[in-house]
Structure 1
Amino acid sequence: MGTIGSWSYKFLAICFYVPLFCSSNELHVGAAEKEMVKVGVIIDNNSIVGRYIDMALSDFYAEHASYRTRLSLCSMDSQKDVVAAASAALDLMENEEVYAIIRPEWSSQAKFVIDLGARAQVPIISFSATSPSLSPAQNNYFVRTTYDDSVQVKAIAAVVQTFGWKEVVPVYEDTDYGNGLIPYITDAFQEIDTRVPYRSVIHPSAHDIDILNELVKLMTMQTRVFLVHMTASLGSRLFLQANKAGMLNDETVWIVTDGLTSLLDPVGYGAKESMQGVIGVRPHLPMSKRLERFKKKYLIGTRKLNLFALRGYDTVSALANAVEMAWWNSSTSQNRRRMRPNTRTRLNLSALGVSEMDPEILRWIRNSTVNGLTGQF
C-alpha cells in the first residue's frame, strides 16, 4: 500500500490541551468480548471526513462481525495549524498510547507528525498529505494511502499541449504542499516546450489585499494561462479576488490541480461561482458495485461524492483490517501492550513508550491489498 494504482487522471501562543475524545464501534457484541485498540485521528472538526470515518467503522465491523478487535478512535482537532497538529500527535502518543495515527490534514502538518511517529515508532497514516517531498521510502513509519502530487503533472501537461499554450505561470501557496509540485510541473512543461516566465507564490496567511496585489501584477504580464496549486481555503480566496479583479474572462485560462478539484465542497458557494469555467484535473473515480451500495445506503448522489472523504473511509477500513491481522499474529499478549519507561513528563519525547505491535500494524497495512470505494490500493 502507498499509492492507489487503479486511479488515473482525467480532463506560538501554543494550546497544548486540544479537546480529545475516544469512541469505538461496538456492533453485535459487547466491548468486553473484544480487544479495543486505540488509534489517533487528527482532523479538522469542521470537515466532512469525520462523518465518513464513522461510516467506515460501522460498515467494516458490520461486514466483519467476527473480528476480535475494534478500533477505538481518539480524535483531536488539528485547528488547521502545524503546531496544533504536532501537539495533538504528542498527546495521542504519550497520554492515549495510540498504536497508529491517521491523517495529518496537509503536508505541512504531516512533516512534523511523521518525524514524531518515527521517534516513537508509531505509524502515521495519511490519505491527504500528497507532497512529493514526503516519501514513505525515506520515512519508515509513514504510510500514504493516496498518490503523491507528481502523478497529476502528465495530465496537466497534456491539457496545456492540447491547447497549444506556450507559457504558463504557476500560482501556488508557500508551503511544503505548494512548493513540492513545482519542480515536477516545470520539468513536464519543458518536455512540451512550454515556458514558465514567472512564479507567483502566495503565503497561506496572506490578506485579501495581498492576494489582490499579486493578481494585479499578473494582469500586467503577457501570459494569460495560470496554473493554481493550493489548498481549498487559500484557493477559494484567490478566485474570489480574481473574480473581483475581472480576471475570470474569455481571455484568461485558469487550471487548478487536484488539491482544489477534489475539495470543492469545503470552498463555499461564493467561491464555486467564482470558479465557473476553470479547468481542473482530478483522479478518475471508478464506479463499482461497492460504491453504488454505499451511495444508496447513505443517500449520497454521485455529484456529492467527496473524493477526499472517500479516501479517509478506505484508509480507516484498511487500518481496521491490519489491526486485526497484527493483533492476533503477534507472538504474545505482552507484545501487544505499549512498553513505557518509568519516567513520565508531559509531552516529553523521551517518555514516549514503544510497543512491538506498532511495527506489526505497519507491516500488515503496507502488505495488504484492499478493494475500497476508491478502487484497489
Structure 2
Amino acid sequence: MATADGGTDSIEKVDVKGSIGAILDYSSRIGKEEKVAMEMAIEEFNSQYSNQHIDLLINDSQGEPIQAALAARELVNRHRVKAILGPQSWEEASLVAEVGSQAHTPILSLAYATPQWATERWPFLIQASADQSAQMKAIAAVIEFQDWHRVTIVYEDIPSSATGAILQLSEALKDVGIEIGHLLPLPPLSSSSSLVEELQSLKEGQCRVFVVHTSLQLGVQLFETAKKMEMMKEGYVWIITDTISSLVHSIKASIISSSMDGIVGVKSYFNETTPQFEIFRGRFRRKFISEHPDEEKNEPGIYAAKAYDATWAAALAMKGGRATGQQLLEKISNGQFDGLTGKIQFSDQKLAPAHIFQIINVVGKSDRELGFWSETSEEESGFWRDGRALAQVVWPGGPRNTPRGWTPPTDEKPLKIGVPTGSTFKQFVEVIQDGNNIAFKGFSINVFNATVERLPYALPHKLYPFNGTYDELVRQVYLKKFDAVVGDVAIVAKRFEHAEFTQPYAEPGLQMITPVRSKSSNKAWLFLKPFTRAMWILTTFINVYNGFVVWLIERNHCNELKGSVPNQIGTLLWLAFSTLFSLHGEKLHSNLSRMAMVVWLFVALVITQSYTANLTSMLTVQQLEPTVADIETLKSSNSMIGYCRGSFVSAYLKDVLGFNEKNIKNYSSPEEYAKALKDGEIAAAFLEAPVAKLFLAKYCKSFIASGQSYKVGGFGFVFPRGSPLLHDVSEALLNVSESGKLWELENSMLSSEKCEDGETEDDEISRLSPSSFWVLFIITGGTSTFALLVYMLHRNWNFHDSTSEHKTIWRFFIAIMKLWRQRTRKLSRRVSDVELPRGSPNIEI
C-alpha cells in the first residue's frame, strides 16, 4: 500500500495513536463487505507502521438515519474518534455530517448520492464515493444506442433517489431526447401484494423498457415478482443501475438464473486484474467466509474496494502526528495515493468523478461483460470494447435481436384516438352521428387509414369525437385521455409542450385569400392590345408604302390624284388605308397598281381577321388579379381580415404579421368566408395552405391567393411525447406519400369540389407580333416594290409604241431581266447580308 507522500516501502517510526469510527448497516451486503474491507485496511496499516496503532470502532446503524446519528454522537463524544467512515445511504450520511461538523470531526461519506452542495453546508464532510451523474449518462446512452424512445423508471421511494439519482437520470434522458413515460416509486419495505399491483399497471401499458434504481434487497424482490407475472419474457427490457449491478456478484446463482436472466446493467468500473487487487481478493474471501458463512458468494465488489481506500485515506492522514480536526480535514483533502479503485485524490473535498462504466449482461448464473462506456469530456463519450462494438446482448426470454421496447395495442385494449368535431372544412374531418352510431369521414381519416395499412403490425384503434378547441384536444394526449389525435391539427411549436407530431401529411403554410378583379377593368385602350407595338408600326409602314406605290402609278391616269401637295398627301393616305376594307380595282388604270393592290388586299384580309379574333378573345375571356397585393396594403388601409379557426393563426397575425387585434375576425365555415369577402366585411382571409387549396377549388373564379405564403403549420397526427408509435407511424406516412397514395387522396378531395362560380383563365392571351406575319409582309412589300421598279423604268426608257400598255410592260419586263442578270452577283451579296426572321425559307437567286 502506498503512503500519503507517495512512498511505498518506507516505514516511519512515529508513535501515533487514535481511533477511526465507522457507521455501517450490518444487515446489508454492502455493510458486510465494507466492514471486512475496513478491518483489513486497518490491519494492514498497523502492520506496515508497526510503532503506531489505530483502532477501528464500528457501529451498526441498522439502516436507520436516527440510529446512525446516535452512533455518530457516541463515537465523537465517548470514543473521541478522529474521523468517521460511512454510512452508505445519504439519509444516514446527512445526519452524521451534521454531528461531525458540530464536533469538527471529518466524515468520509461512502454514500453514492451525495448532493453537490453538501460539502458547502457541512464543511467537515468529505465525499469519498464518486458522484454518479456520469453513470446516469451512461444509462441514457445505452437506451439511445438501442433506439428506444420511451422508458419507465422504477425506483425506491427515498429522499436521496427522488432528489438525486432520479433527477440526474431524468436530465440525462432528456438530453438525448428520450421520454419518461412513467415514474413508479416503490416503498423500501414493499410487500409482494403491493409489488404485484404496481407491476400490473406497468404490464398493461405499452412501454417495455424499465430502468430500475433500488436497493439490492428490493430489486431482487421486484424481479422475483416480475418473473411470476411473466414480465421477464421476450419483449421486455430491464436495465439496472449501480445500486444493483455492482452487487450482482453477491446474488445467489439460483435467483439470477430464475428471475434475472437477460437484464442489462451499468456499474462503476475499476481494474480487478491488478496484483494489488488480486492479493486483496484472496485475503478478503478468506475473512468474509469466516465472518459470514451463510453467504453463498464471497467475492468483493466496488463497495468493498471504496471502503478499503477510504479507510487508508483517513489512516494515512493520521500518520503524521497529532492533529486537530481542521488539520486532519486538510491532510485528507490534500492526500493522494494509488488505491484499489485507482488514484485516490480529492478536489474540493470530493473524490474525482468516475468516467468509465462497465456494461454487463446478466446471463445464466452470473454476469458477463458487454463493453464499456466512457465520458472523456462533456461533449464526447461513447462505447468501446477492445476496439470493437459492444458484445451481443441476450435479452429476457433468450432472443438476441433487440426488442422493440414497446408493445402495440391489442384488440382488448385498442388505441384511443381523439378526432375533432369542429373542423371548419368538413372535407378534412367530418363526424357524423346517427343515433348511437358515429361515423368518421374526410381526407385526414383516409390518410390515417392508409398509414395504418403500411405499418408492419396490426394497430387496433378506436376513434372518439372531441368537441373542443384544437389546443384542448392536443392537451388530452398529455393528460392520457387519448393515445393519439387524428384530424386537421396544425403542427405548432407551443403544442410540443404536450405532445409530438408525425411527419406532416399536408403542406405547411398560411395563405392570404382575396377577391379578384379583372386585369382589363380599364378597356378604353383595349383595341390596341391585339397587336404588339412592332406589329402596329410595321402594318402602318406597309400600308403607307403600298398606298404610295399605287398613288405614284395612278397619278398620271387620274386627275383626282393630282392637285396641291396637301390634296395629294390626303389622297395617298386614303389609298393606303381604304384598301383594308374594299378593293378599288375598277378605278385603277394600270395593271401594275392592280397587281400590288390584289396582293396587299389578301394580306390585309388575313391581318384584319386575326386582329378581330384576338380582340374578341380579350373581350370575352376575363383576366383576374387580386384586389389586395400584399399585407402592407391591408395594414396601411386598416382593413378587416378573417382567419380560420386555430388560435395559432390569430396569434401569428397579431404577433408576427403585426395586424391590429380589433381588425381580425373569425368565421366557422367556407360559406361565411365567401360571403364576408364578397360583401366587403373583410378585405382578405388568412387560411392554412391545405384548406386554402380546398377553398379556391370551390370558389375558383371569385377569389385568388395573393402575396407570399408564410411557412407555418402543416397538418400532422398527434402522439404522446416519446410514444414508441411515433417513429413507425411517421415512417409509414412517408411510404404513403412516396407511393403516390397521398397525392391520389388529395386530388380526390379537391376534384370532389365543383367550382360554384365557373372556370376562369388566368393566363394572358398572347398578343400578335410581326413574327406571325413576316412572310405575308415580304410578299406584299416585294410585289409593290416590283411594280414600282417596272413603273420607274417605263418612265425613263424611250419606247416608240407608247400607246400599247401591254406591249410596253412586256418590253420593260425584258429590260429589267437583262439588267437583273448583270447585277445578280452584287445583289446576291447584299441579300446574304440581310438577316431573315427565324424560320424563313431559303431564297434562291
Q: Normalised by the size of structure 1, how large is the TM-score? A: 0.78
* C-alpha distance in structure 2 between counterparts of 1:230 and 1:64, whole Å: 40
Q: 1:162 offset after TM fit, Å?
A: 0.7
Amino acid at match of 2:99: L
Say which of 304, 309, 312 aligns to 1:314. 309
Contact 1:153 1:184 (C-alpha < 8 Å) held by counterparts: yes
How far does the alpha carbon of each residue in 1:26-48 deviate from its partner, in whole angstroms, 9 at most, with x for none? xx9xxxx9432122111123412
Q: How does 1:24-39 map to 2 (within 5 A)?
A: 34-39=15-20
Say which of 89, 95, 107 aligns to 2:90. 107
How far does the alpha carbon of each residue in 1:93-135 deviate from its partner, in whole angstroms, 9 at most, with x for none? 2222222111112111111111221222211112234343663
Q: How does 1:1-377 map to 2 (within 5 A)?
A: 34-46=15-27, 47-65=32-50, 68=52, 70-132=53-115, 135-179=118-162, 180-273=164-257, 274-286=259-271, 287-297=273-283, 304-325=299-320, 327-328=321-322, 330=323, 357-377=324-344
Secondary structure at the counterpart of residue 118 of structure 2: coil
Q: 1:317 offset after TM fit, Å?
A: 1.0
Check 1:172–1:144 CA distance in 2 against 1; reply closer, same or farther (3 A cut): same
Relative CO higher for 1 or 2, CA cutoff 8 Å, sep ≥ 6?
A: 1
Secondary structure at the counterpart of residue 237 of structure 1: helix
State the aligned residue count. Answer: 317
Check 1:296–1:266 CA distance in 2 against 1; reply closer, same or farther (3 A cut): closer
* C-alpha distance in structure 1 between counterparts of 2:148 and 2:301, whole Å: 31
Q: 1:189 offset after TM fit, Å?
A: 1.2
Check 1:262–1:134 CA distance in 2 against 1; reply closer, same or farther (3 A cut): farther
* C-alpha distance in structure 2 between counterparts of 1:219 and 1:141, whole Å: 47
Secondary structure at the counterpart of residue 315 of structure 2: helix
Deviates most, 136-145 or 179-188: 136-145
Check 1:267–1:293 CA distance in 2 against 1; reply closer, same or farther (3 A cut): closer
* C-alpha distance in structure 1 between counterparts of 2:326 and 2:342, whole Å: 26
The CA RMSD over aligned residues, in Å, is 2.5
Q: 1:149 offset after TM fit, Å?
A: 2.1
Secondary structure at the counterpart of residue 370 of structure 1: strand
Q: 1:266 offset after TM fit, Å?
A: 5.0
Secondary structure at the counterpart of residue 73 of structure 1: strand
Amino acid at match of 1:49: E
Contact 2:309 2:341 (C-alpha < 8 Å) held by counterparts: yes
Q: 1:271 offset after TM fit, Å?
A: 4.0
* C-alpha distance in structure 2 between counterparts of 1:78 and 1:265, whole Å: 24
Q: 1:62 offset after TM fit, Å?
A: 2.7
Contact 2:137 2:173 (C-alpha < 8 Å) held by counterparts: no
How far does the alpha carbon of each residue in 1:35-89 deviate from its partner, in whole angstroms, 9 at most, with x for none? 32122111123412211111111222333335x4x22111111112122111111
* C-alpha distance in structure 2 between counterparts of 1:134 and 1:263, whole Å: 28
* C-alpha distance in structure 1 between counterparts of 2:119 and 2:132, whole Å: 14
Amino acid at match of 1:153: M
Contact 2:112 2:130 (C-alpha < 8 Å) held by counterparts: no
Secondary structure at the counterpart of residue 197 of structure 1: strand
Q: Residue in 2 aligned with 1:3?
A: none
Contact 2:152 2:207 (C-alpha < 8 Å) held by counterparts: yes
**Higher Cα Rg, which structure:** 2
* C-alpha distance in structure 2 between counterparts of 1:126 and 1:263, whole Å: 19
Paired-residue identity, %:
28
Amino acid at match of 1:212: V
Secondary structure at the counterpart of residue 180 of structure 2: coil
Secondary structure at the counterpart of residue 318 of structure 2: helix
Secondary structure at the counterpart of residue 164 of structure 1: coil
Q: Residue in 1 aligned with 2:293?
A: none
* C-alpha distance in structure 2 between counterparts of 1:65 and 1:98, whole Å: 20
Q: 1:177 offset after TM fit, Å?
A: 2.9
Contact 2:305 2:341 (C-alpha < 8 Å) held by counterparts: yes
* 5+ residue gaps, structure 1: 1-27, 331-356
Amino acid at match of 1:184: Q
Amino acid at match of 2:38: I
Contact 1:174 1:203 (C-alpha < 8 Å) held by counterparts: yes
Q: 1:265 offset after TM fit, Å?
A: 4.7
